[in-house]
Amino acid sequence: MLALFSKSRDAFEIPRSEEVATIEQKFQNEYFGDPERILLAKRSTNLWMLLKDDRRFAFQGRIVLLSEPGEDMVEIMVALAKLQGGSVCNYFPKIHAQKAISDLESQGLGVVEHDHLRGTKACLDASLKTLETFALPEDISITVIDETTSPQFVSEVVEMSEKCGVMSVPGWVMRGTGPKGVFLVAQNSAGEPVACAGSFMCHPENSSHAKDAFWGMLATRSDRRGQGLACLLGAKAIVHMWEVHDARGFITGVSADNLSSKALCKKMGLLNSDWQYLSCIDHTIFGGDSITK
């Protein structure tokens, strides 16, 4: 695989699989953002189709991640960043993080550290308690994004999410036609999306983290904050993943200074772990400062 990554980004062409072509045709090429970001998203999709049976990697809809780091971790992360605009090692031991950061920065990449939060049965217990006690506002209904959802509504959800600073995933991921998972949306009486959350099984079955699901993408429109909608959707997502997709762990990356998100995660049973959610960005091809929001 490293030989595959040895070519320059400009020369590299990732094979476009029949699976991707079918997905794109069915869902009208549902990638979002400016042309450069769409190009990177498509590249990540095709890259995942090549690597989805390799236990070292994972995919949460945005980019291919490294989940089982080895001695060649830095080399692989640099290669992934050159192809996708960024890369993440989401199970990197905290005690070795500073050396890895220095090595990545020496390759000209920007490094962003996030706390790796994880929970197991406590997530299910907390979520069930939330669902038992939560009173849904009268004008709010909950919908699941699936194959029958209109492209217009998917676009509206993406727009709402992006305005909240949460990076979206392609429509085919939101719809559950790729990684096993669920994407939930709260909509008001006018049919407008006002909050969302998602969770997906992101590892190959032979991975040591195969039962861990990525959880996050929580966003709430500014006029509906303080009503607990994201918490409700996050809880519903956890229960769904546990009961339907046999998830037994839930992971997410949160910046150390994002106290509100960390408080919500704690309420849902996701706590600081001994790992670091280590991401790097190639600023020459990626126009943002984070790929994990």
Residue 190's pLDDT is 97
Residue 131's pLDDT is 96
Indicate the pLDDT class of residue 254, thresholds 50, 70 and 90.
Answer: very high
Residue 1's pLDDT is 41
Q: Give, rounded to a whole angstrom, the gap between the first and last alpha carbons of the chain.
A: 28
Indicate the pLDDT class of residue 104, thresholds 50, 70 and 90.
Answer: very high
Indicate the pLDDT class of residue 178, thresholds 50, 70 and 90.
Answer: confident
Give CB contacts under 8 A, 24+ apart, made by 186-191: 186/140, 186/141, 186/142, 186/224, 186/229, 186/232, 186/233, 187/140, 187/141, 187/142, 187/143, 188/139, 188/140, 188/224, 189/139, 191/153
Q: Whole-structure pTM over 0.75, yes or no?
A: yes
Numbered ranges of CATH 3.40.630.30 in the chain: 119-271
Residue 192's pLDDT is 98
Residue 2's pLDDT is 42
Residue 130's pLDDT is 96
Q: Give the residue, 59 or 15, on which the prediction is more confident.
A: 59
C-alpha to C-alpha distance for 240 and 273, rounded to whole angstroms: 23
Q: What percent of the chain shows pLDDT beyond 90? A: 80
Q: How many CB atoms lie within 10 A of CB 125?
A: 14
CB within 8 Å of 263: residues ≥ 6 apart: none
Q: What are phi and psi of 36, to 5 degrees?
A: -65, -40
Residue 24's pLDDT is 58
Residue 19's pLDDT is 67
**Arithmetic mean of pLDDT, 130-140:** 95
Asked whether the predicted pLDDT for residue 127 surpasses 80, the reply is: yes
Strand, helix or coil for residue 177: coil
pLDDT in tens, 30-85: 999 888 889 999 999 999 999 999 999 999 999 999 999 999 999 999 999 999 99
C-alpha to C-alpha distance for 271 and 268, rounded to whole angstroms: 9
Residue 113's pLDDT is 87
Architecture of domain 119-271: 3-Layer(aba) Sandwich (3.40)
Mean pLDDT of the chain: 90
Residue 285's pLDDT is 82
Indicate the pLDDT class of residue 20, thresholds 50, 70 and 90.
Answer: low
Residue 293's pLDDT is 54
